[in-house]
A = this chain, B = another copy of it.
């Protein structure tokens, strides 16, 4: 019977004749094949009695070759595995010339593997990361579906440029060299595919709001885009975002949901990706050995994930946070690059990390930010100067969730749009939500890759998505 290696190691049908397919990880002593098929981090040991096999066949077996192996599953005599296959037949699907195959059984740098993005998933590290990514994705869907949310596919190509979340990519079919022009000499977008200028979405939030005001609780999970020239380990031009939006939720309910959601999806991977997380934890411990003690993580990967699941997130108003930061040692000793002098300052990564990593030592939810450092759609508080915004801050990652209660009052929203000089006509449909059956509602956005980074301990965001898109890079 044919099995995946994961199934075989779980079921252990000792004595059965079995068949497995996979790729050779290593081939030792012309006898021991470590075979992996991607279903699990664990290899299956397949023993070939070289005396009984054709030498020409054995020569084809090297790291990366694809094989079908048939034989009896027996208890293993060796260490490191409980069962192994005593091979009676080996079929070579395809070889991998050791002279040219780049993925050899040795340590490759992450930078080197980025150049081989089509092959890097064949390494233990990337296979583990991508299995965790897959499990986290499913955890997201399962959480929302079990909690009465409907999945909504927000549009990717948008004719609306009022989202204001960042620089956009233009989507066009016009002739690049000689676009049609109007009488004034400007590009004539009426001749473009959609009859107007269109861009890639930076957020599905505004459209998600339209659906929350009909279906009650919805979430998006789709790609979003930023045409920003940020070449950092935290930014991608194309990334996946999760944006729940809930009618009749105020900011407190929104914070409750964000915390419960994050804990739940991390709990899911703790339960379902134990082997991969253990591998990734050891990988990190290994990596950190070369660092000075002070720069090493205080917690190992699994401990860190359990800590998030088991502890309440600390909720702190922006105003309280400013007081803490103003009176903090690094501020007094002028260690912050951006010293905190007064209320109204925009918090930088250094401040967020101080709060999370040094002061509270747990995930923090900051709320009620100054209106003028936040987006136009956030609900104004009675004080007239703060809005019902919230950010969830994580150790090592910084902001992982940003959300708010939305401004549901037509007049307040119109006034804000006017102040910011946004064209009201661009948002006619968004304003309609406040004209017809408006209600308290809230939502947040979670950058999925940041969550995958947190769950896997990978330092560079380029290493948690199959084909990263960054400035000057759209290979494959």
Contact = CB atoms under 8 A, between A and B. Distances in A.
A154 interface: yes
Interface string A112-123: 000000110110
A126 B150 CA distance: 13
A15 interface: no
Contacts of A137: 141, 151, 153
A198 B238 CA distance: 13
B181 A179 contact: no
Contacts of A420: none
A211 B145 CA distance: 27
A135 B144 CA distance: 11
Interface stretch (A26-34, A165-173, A339-347, A385-393): A165-173
A237 B158 CA distance: 12
Copies in the complex: 2
A476 B174 contact: no
B434 A94 contact: yes
A429 B118 contact: yes
B240 A121 contact: no
A338 to B, nearest CB: 29
A96 B437 contact: yes
Contacts of A240: 153
Interface of A: 4, 6-7, 21-24, 37-39, 64-66, 68, 93-97, 100-101, 103, 118-119, 121-122, 126-127, 130-131, 133-135, 137-138, 141-142, 145, 148, 150-160, 167, 169-174, 176-177, 179, 181, 185-187, 193-196, 198, 200, 207, 210-211, 213-217, 222-223, 225, 227, 237-238, 240, 247-248, 408, 429-430, 432-440, 465-467, 469, 471-476
Nearest to A219: B134
Contact of A437 (B64, B210, B215, B217): B64
A148 B466 contact: no
Given A160-B476, A237-B193, A215 B127 contact: yes
Given A223-B222, A429-B118, A466-B153, A408 B474 contact: no
A76 to B, nearest CB: 23
A240 B131 CA distance: 22
A159 B215 contact: no
Contacts of A96: 435-437
Contact of A177 (B23, B187, B213, B429): B187
Nearest to A24: B437
A248 B21 contact: yes
Given A134-B150, A171-B171, A432-B118, A466 B211 contact: yes
Contacts of A22: 216
A281 to B, nearest CB: 20
A122 B160 CA distance: 22
A90 to B, nearest CB: 14
A141 B142 CA distance: 9
Given A100-B435, A216-B37, A171 B169 contact: yes
A131 B150 contact: yes
A466 B157 CA distance: 13
A468 to B, nearest CB: 8
A68 B199 CA distance: 38
A122 B214 CA distance: 5
Contacts of A430: 118
Given A130-B150, A170-B172, A187-B176, A439 B216 contact: no
A190 to B, nearest CB: 9
A158 B468 CA distance: 10
B169 A176 contact: no
Contacts of A217: 38-39
A469 B152 contact: no
B194 A472 contact: yes
B130 A215 contact: yes
B65 A437 contact: yes
Contact of A94 (B103, B225, B408): B408
Contacts of A211: 121, 130, 466
Contacts of A127: 214-215
